[in-house]
Amino acid sequence: MSEQIATVLAEFGQSFGDTRTQLCQVAAAILDDEHCVLSGSVLDRETLDSVVTTLRDRLPGLTFDASSVEVLRRPGAIRLAVATNLTGLYAKPSFLAEMLSELLHGWEVEVLREQERWCFVRQADGYLGWAYRPYLTPEPTVSPPPTHIVCEPVSLLRRDPVPDAALVTRLLGGTQLSVQESIPGWAKLSPMGGCEAWTPAANLRLLRILPSDEAGRRAQIAVDALRFVGVPYLWGGCSALGIDCSGFVRLLHQLIGLSLPRDADMQFNAAAPVAFPYQPGDLLFFGENGRSASPKITHVALSLGGWRVIHSSRSRNGVYEDDVQAVAHLHESFVATRTFIGR
């Protein structure tokens, strides 16, 4: 009986094995011939109900007590926002753990679990990880909706609206905020944390006039991409301080008002296939198993037109242009091209 239960739970472990967005860690203890107690943790009630229903269907002679299983997503969960200009999202509650991704200023997270000075959090797109609690703050009960997005890779914020005023902080491309006041050439911002500062108006893009047509989006994303040339490669990075391949293409799409999944394989699965000739903004994917029915996606680049791409690669340690046909390892590992723009 215990082997049958272990088999079912192992199957669920595989079905919910993508720890980036899923969590299902359930163990079972058999009390007698009729009763079994479940323990562990799951992401949400739907996951737990699925586990219990399957166990009951496969093992109808047993009664399963799931009251000890921790359900992380609960009604009324605490929601916090990033109060610093950037913070990491880690695989474990430690700065020494693998950095899975990064969170920009103002991004909201749902707190699922707390451990000392760390929070296990869920982003709006479902991505999971550990964030440092002191870098998060409760969202203001009353706050104006964002009006602009930072379009400059790094935007310096100064105490006064003059170029030589003292630096207050800096915000990174992709950050959304509300402009409090405007004067010619400058915009006044009030990031979380209570400070007020000025940044050049040219560093901001008005959200309500982001390009919405295909041609406008393709033209803008190609211009934006070139502004990041030279940004160093960083596994899990999402900003101009260091960025990985999927973080780069996701950020570029954020700047034109489109939301993408975090990682390259997720982007591949969510995007629409396209055929050659490739247009600016199309995404070229690379990986293992080549063009087989089930390739393992490991890299993504943004087309600037045809085979000319810009990407953040470990091989060149950062964001640079390449010709896929002229670079052997890119040509050999190319899988397919897909897009989130039009088509």
Mean pLDDT for back-to-back runs of 10 residues, the chain (343 residues): 80 86 92 89 95 90 92 94 96 98 96 97 97 91 85 97 96 96 96 86 97 96 98 98 98 97 97 96 90 84 98 96 97 96 82
CA distance 157 to 169: 5
Q: Quick check: 80 and 71 in contact, CB under 8 A? A: no
- What is the rounded distance in angstroms from the CA atom of residue 297 to the CA atom of residue 280? 21
Per-residue tokens: 52:
């219990």
Sheet holding 176-177, edge to edge: 176-177, 148-150, 204-206
pLDDT recorded at residue 141: 60
Please name each of the domains of the chain with its CATH number.
2-71 (3.30.300), 79-138 (2.30.30.40), 148-208 (2.30.30.40), 210-339 (3.90.1720.10)
Q: What pTM, to 2 d.p., does this model score?
A: 0.94
pLDDT of res. 124: 93
Q: How many helices (H) and strands (E) does the chain have?
A: 6, 26
> What sign does the dihedral 198-201-205-207 (CA atoms) show?
positive
Least Cα distance to 240 among 225, 258, 253, 218 occurs for 225
